[in-house]
Amino acid sequence: GRQGCQIDFEHVSFSYEGASGEPVLKNINLTCLPGETIGIIGSTGSGKSSLVNLIPRFYDVSSGSIRVDGVDTQELDPAKLRDRIAIVPQKSILFSGTIEENLLWGNEHASREEIMQAANMAEAHSFIAAFPEGYETMLGQRGVNLSGGQKQRLSIARALIRKPDVLILDDCTSALDTTTETNIKESLKSFASGVTCLLIAQRITSVMDADKIVVMDDGEIVGIGTHEALMKSCRVYVEIFQS
């Protein structure tokens, strides 16, 4: 399997181009160790998506630096950097084509067996297999309509097929029931052991068992720790827990 990356944020600030006012991210300091699962939680607009989108350089930092395995990402070829990172976005991006074509987007060399293995881990294989045409089922205007949760599971499978070193799940389990979510996380633990995983979530239950949880508030990290530690020390975390 692949080796996870270490990711270091050092004094990172970030504003979207042309935006005035307060930066979206302010003095972010965070180390993600290889193979760690890091939960990220915080209210809407607190900067969670912005934070993870800086890692593959979808945007560049305004100041400070992000290092992947010790190398400043500004010095890396963005294409090579992105090859190691899979982001599952909040809103699934599927196109008109078969399920298999959709799953292969990003790694067209995967075998049917690898596709099925990833689909299994993402809890997608059984609903795919239940279609008369299975993996050849057409999606889109002329094809079947999938539920929000089914789309999310396909997006997760697509990311796993790429065998990334860094897996980022950006609030992409919100449409899943907790059993499905738990099953996927269990599979990730075995398959993705060694993969550095960042998991943005709305629900505390989604991140409770992470190695560490990052609490974001208004562009700042206001807490980093385990669930138990944050329950004792982080007011914002306790507020999210109680809401």
CA distance 153 to 143: 18
Residues 134, 121, 140, 176, CA torsion sign: positive
Establish if 144 lies at the interface with ligand DUT (CB under 6 A). Answer: no
| Least distance CB 121 / ligand DUT (angstroms) | 25
Residues in contact with ligand DUT, shown as a per-residue x/- string from 106 to 125 under the rule CB under 6 A = --------------------
Interface residue with ligand DUT among 1, 3, 11, 16 (CB under 6 A) is: 16
Please identify, using beta-carbon distances, which residue of 68 and 214 lies nearer to ligand DUT.
Answer: 214
Longest dimension (CA), the chain: 54
| Least distance CB 161 / ligand DUT (angstroms) | 25
Site for ligand DUT in 17-46 (CB under 6 A): 19, 24, 42, 44-46
| Least distance CB 24 / ligand DUT (angstroms) | 4
Please identify, using beta-carbon distances, which residue of 110 and 176 lies nearer to ligand DUT.
Answer: 176
| Least distance CB 52 / ligand DUT (angstroms) | 8
Please identify, using beta-carbon distances, which residue of 118 and 199 lies nearer to ligand DUT.
Answer: 199
| Least distance CB 214 / ligand DUT (angstroms) | 11
Q: Which residue type is seen at 81?
A: L
Crossing angle of the two packed helices 112-121 and 148-161, in degrees rounded to 10: 130
Kind and range of the H or E element at 150? helix 148-161
Contact 67, 73 (CB under 8 A): yes
Q: What's the length of the chain?
A: 243
Q: Which residues, including other chains, have CB under 8 Å from residue 224's CB and lie 6 or more apart?
A: 30, 212, 213, 214, 215
52 CB burial (10 A radius; 0-12, 13-18, 19+)? buried
| Least distance CB 193 / ligand DUT (angstroms) | 27
CA distance 216 to 102: 33
| Least distance CB 222 / ligand DUT (angstroms) | 13
Please identify, using beta-carbon distances, which residue of 44 and 111 lies nearer to ligand DUT.
Answer: 44
Interface residue with ligand DUT among 12, 48, 85, 152 (CB under 6 A) is: 48
CB atoms within 10 A of CB 176: 20
Residues 91, 186, 224, 34, CA torsion sign: negative
CA dihedral 65→70→73→78, nearest 10 degrees, is -170
Residues in contact with ligand DUT by CB under 6 A are: 16, 19, 24, 42, 44-50
